[in-house]
A and B are shown apart, each in its own frame.
Chain A
């Protein structure tokens, strides 16, 4: 099993749609979870951290399910500018400096 696993997509959705991505992780002791966004030929940028209680930032909602070892990202009212690759990132518990990146889920929002 991969350490962090994501559906590569692409998810092709119309503007205004709601889309959800899941990510599973293998290490039950992981404590920190993040979603990063990477535009084509650009560097990754933090989209949001994922907290145990779930968190929301505008149109974006992140959830953590420790029992099933997955995190999710929900995007409501998709915009063209949301088109990007969304990377699920999990810390590796033997080092506070080590983050494991999932392979990313590509989102295409069409007019």
Chain B
């Protein structure tokens, strides 16, 4: 079982809905990540939080809004999404930078936008 917990596992939403994806880790990791993965494609980095501060935003549209309430939690707020945003959203954490350590992934939240 993964030590990074993501909820919900599945989410279906309309284009006008507002929803949130949640991620939690209790390994004391100081970096947390959001990745997006489409079918048969590799994970694509969206955001990185380091010590609860946003350190990387990979030019993600503003309809995706990350939030890091504390060192264990990471949220992704979703608003006015498009059908092409349907994907698996993976949360990950690492001890420090990903360069030196392992990324631990959650099982992902599978999002469908109608």
A interface residues, Cβ below 8 angstroms from B: 31-32, 36, 42-46, 49, 87, 91, 95-99, 101-104
Contact = CB atoms under 8 A, between A and B. Distances in A.
Interface in B1-40: 2, 31, 33
Interface residues of B, number: 25
A99 B98 contact: yes
Chain B at the A interface: SS class: loop
A101 B33 contact: no
Nearest to B44: A101
Given A43-B107, A103-B42, A104-B42, A96 B102 contact: no
A43 B106 CA distance: 6
A96 B105 contact: no
Q: Tell me which of B45, B55, B97, B98 has the highest count of chain A C-beta atoms within 10 A of its own C-beta.
A: B98
Nearest to A99: B98
Pick the 3 closest A-B CB pairs, nearest first.
A96-B97, A101-B42, A43-B105
B100 interface: yes
B108 A97 contact: no
B71 interface: no
Contact of B107 (A42, A95, A97, A102): A42
